[in-house]
Chains A and B, each alone.
Chain A
Amino acid sequence: MEIMDKLALYFQFPFVRYAMVAGILIALCSSLLGVTLVLKRFSFIGDGLSHVAFGATAAAVALNLTNNIFLVLPVTIICAILLLRAGQNAKIRGDASIAMISVGALAVGYLIMNIFSKSSNLSGDVCATLFGSTSILTLTRASVWLCAGLSMAVITVFLLFYHKIFAVTFDEDFATATGTKAKTYNLLLAAVIAVIIVLAMNLVGALLVSALVVFPALSAMRVLKSFKAVTICSVLVSVSCAALGILISILAGTPVGATILAVNIAGFGIFSLIGLAARSG
């Protein structure tokens, strides 16, 4: 009862409600492309991109931009496309170029923050961008609308291209050979992944982003066998973990991103056990 009262009290504050809405939307669309990311070896790109997004955020801080998403989003999308191109180019190893871009962005971002930041709590700022922080609780109404709009765009693209994404992820050669423009869809996927990463960074911070995208899909894949079932299940898992994580972090005062991921890890454990039981039973 005490917990309920405490929650009711917190939910009277608009910023808590905003945080909940934004968190659920972000969790929903970040889980949609989880399977694709895991199986297409895009997870490296996801990781690299989150570092790029960190660097761009640092630059936005240095430039004193009020809404840094207008810098971070385009930069991340461009890098996503560049990384994808590099991955397809057999002459430069994809992994190496990803490592170059991502670690480079991390270093430059930290440097920029150090040189330009006027904040007295620099390491606190860096930590917040990397691991997420209370930032989700300081969302304004405008940024919630922005989150909602971008999430709707991601969901719409996913629904419209669901079968194409399946075909291109499952067997790119067959798709290309039989007349599906796999290259175009790969570019689309890269752009959508960039949007998702920038969105999710608001929730859990740059370093934890790819985990947020990948964990629900990995959990669902432990138990379920079809693409549709795995997709639906990972959305449900992701949304429940995010909601639970946000509630816990509000009540216990823990960092939002890390709490959501801890809940996701617990979820993965449960699904692994169910998967093992199903296989042996």
Chain B
Amino acid sequence: MPQLSCRDLTIGYEGKTVVSGLSFDVNAGDYLCIVGENGTGKSTLMKTLLKLMPPMSGRITAEDGLSSNQIGYLPQQTAAQRDFPASVKEVVRSGCLNRCGMRPFYSKPEKRMADENMEKLGIAALAKRCYRELSGGQQQRVLLARALCAARKILLIDEPAAGLDPKAAVEMYSLIKKLNDEGISIVMISHDIAASIKHASHILHIGERYPLFCGTVSEYQQSDIGRKYAGLGES
């Protein structure tokens, strides 16, 4: 049974459809890349999958045992947290919150896991720094470390490379690939088609109002649309 499955999903805001006719599965260990032009509804789809907003119609089913406290989420950078006084350590640890239940404080293993994830992402030295004073790339790593603390089975990532310089973007993608190799399913939004093809196992290409393609990477490379866009990516 797939971890996450969508059937005939229509998504949008307040009666305005953004995309309809979405049907796809995410199986354990998959790496699904969602690609498409700006404003086609990729972030909207991710928010719907995360139950931050209701679907307009259709069904999203999760595997038994996949509840939202086993999901990690790396949001698209927003300005909302800009003034917040928070240290890197506090932000990363807050990812463990969904393991606490009603317990008011973090346990030792949870704190250790937060430390390990900071280590893994190379931000251990920043632990005491203020989140809002970091560079875009560093902030993105902090948010990914937080997402890792929350993710036990699946990680949803919205444009991890936005605002990063090319080198940091490559590092970010290989980090995510490493996490996938360790067994966590990935659903990632990206408009870097070349990188998506290189790392992902499946591609969902969303066009204006309708999905244009959904399948494995090799099928995508053979399809008309895949050849067209992948060619663009390489040139």
Contact = CB atoms under 8 A, between A and B. Distances in A.
A4 interface: no
A177 B50 contact: yes
B182 interface: no
Chain B: interface size category: 35 or more
B44 interface: no
Contacts of A169: 84
A227 B86 contact: yes
Contact of B91 (A159, A161, A170): A170
B104 A226 contact: no
Interface in B70-111: 70-73, 75, 80-81, 83-87, 89-91, 93-95, 97-98, 100, 104-106
Nearest to A225: B130
Given A177-B73, A178-B95, A226-B90, A161 B104 contact: yes
Contacts of A170: 81, 84, 86, 91, 94
Interface string B206-233: 0000000000000000000000000000
B146 interface: yes
A65 interface: no
A178 B105 contact: no
A163 interface: yes
Contacts of A39: 83-84
Contacts of A175: 94, 97
29 contacts: A166-B86, A167-B94, A167-B97, A170-B81, A170-B84, A170-B91, A170-B94, A171-B75, A171-B81, A173-B47, A173-B50, A175-B97, A176-B51, A177-B51, A177-B52, A177-B71, A178-B68, A178-B69, A178-B71, A178-B95, A178-B97, A179-B70, A180-B97, A225-B87, A225-B129, A226-B89, A226-B90, A227-B86, A229-B85
A163 to B, nearest CB: 6
Taking each of B52, B84, B85, which has the highest tally of chain A beta carbons within 10 Å of its own beta carbon? Answer: B85
A230 B104 contact: no
Contact of B68 (A167, A179, A230): A179
Interface of A: 35, 39, 90, 159-164, 166-167, 169-171, 173-180, 220-221, 224-230
A174 B105 CA distance: 19
Interface of B: 14, 47, 50-52, 67-73, 75, 80-81, 83-87, 89-91, 93-95, 97-98, 100, 104-106, 128-130, 133, 146-147, 150, 156
B85 A226 contact: yes
Given A163-B94, A226-B87, 18 more contacts: A39-B83, A161-B104, A163-B93, A170-B91, A174-B94, A175-B97, A177-B52, A178-B69, A178-B72, A178-B150, A179-B68, A180-B98, A220-B85, A225-B86, A225-B129, A225-B133, A227-B84, A229-B85
Contacts of B69: 178-180
A54 B190 CA distance: 52
Contacts of B98: 178-180
A164 B97 contact: yes
Given A178-B97, A180-B98, A160 B85 contact: no
A261 B69 CA distance: 43
Given A163-B100, A225-B130, A174 B146 contact: yes
Contacts of B91: 170
Main secondary structure on chain A at its contact with chain B?
Answer: helix
A228 B84 CA distance: 12
Contacts of A228: 87, 90
B81 to A, nearest CB: 6
Nearest to A221: B85
Contacts of A167: 94, 97
Contacts of B14: 90
A263 to B, nearest CB: 23
Given A160-B104, A180-B98, A225-B129, A174 B87 contact: no
A231 B83 CA distance: 15
B89 to A, nearest CB: 8
B75 A173 contact: yes
A24 B19 CA distance: 56
Nearest to A231: B85
Contacts of A166: 86, 90, 94
Taking each of A90, A164, A179, which has the highest tally of chain B beta carbons within 10 Å of its own beta carbon? Answer: A179
Contacts of B130: 225-226
Contacts of A230: 85
Nearest to B14: A90
B81 A162 contact: no
Nearest to A220: B85
Contact of B104 (A163, A220, A224, A227): A163
